[in-house]
Amino acid sequence: MNKFDKALLFFLIAVYIIGCVPSKPTYEEEILPADRLVKKLEANRRKIKTFEGSGILNVESPQIEAKATFEVYLKKPDSLKFIIYGPFGIDLAQALVTNSEFTFYDVMKNVVYKGRNDNNILNKIFHIDVSFNELIDAFAGAVNLTDKLRLEPQKFNLNDENYFLTYYDSLAGKQTDYQIQINNLAITDYKLYKMPSILMFEGEYSDFEMINNVAIPYLTKIENKLAKQKVTIDYRNITVNEKIKNLHLDIPKDAKITIW
């Protein structure tokens, strides 16, 4: 065997050995420690300044079970416009909610309800017990991690596909769990417990699309377990970070105004 044949043989053996070594997972270089992960997640949430979406809203509670087509317009941090449509695209109701006030127009009755915003008002309009900021995040398919930015999780684990974060708040007697996809940093599951094991609130997020480098879910399910309230938001169209042309309600001059 001449020198050329030996060199060729060694080269082929080396190629064979390299080919037999298992490849590293594609996400390995993207694995983040807990503090950087939470900062990245919160930074992604804050990238979304405006949000427009249309789809199907399904509400289930002891008081009501309803499904309707809707449009929503969000301008963070303080404005939400919501329109509900009936059959054949007929307007049924419109709502404009800010962090301090609300206006709700019942199109069928031609009555406008106005007043100061609080959680009770939001419950009457959207049929789930959430704050205004929680409502904004729910429609945007987001989870607010501001209060976790300077905290270390009590548990931090991962597998081939997901991160898992757990935080304990001993003073409030609460536990929060988060599941995050490694490849796109999408939060897929959020759970709030009353310690040690009473599930109070859950959010599930799926059907993600990368928009402006942020994973946006087209399907969101939020459930208040204690109040037996569940809202499913199933988007057909989503637009983010584009100027919202109109945040006003189309109210006729002859509408009756009622102050709540």
Domain count for the chain: 1
pTM of the model as a whole? 0.85
CA distances for 110 relative to 12, 94, 258, angstroms:
81, 11, 11
Average pLDDT of 94-108?
Answer: 92
Tens of pLDDT, residue by residue over 75-95, are 998 899 999 998 767 788 999
Tens of pLDDT, residue by residue over 212-247, are 999 999 999 999 999 999 999 999 999 999 999 888
pLDDT of residue 24 exceeding 70, the answer is no
Question: Does 145 fall in a domain?
Answer: yes
At 247, which CATH number? 2.50.20.10
60 three-class SS: strand
Beta bridge mates, 208? 217
Range of the domain at 48: 30-259
Average pLDDT of 119-138?
Answer: 84
Question: Does 247 fall in a domain?
Answer: yes
**CB–CB of 94/112 below 8 Å?**
no
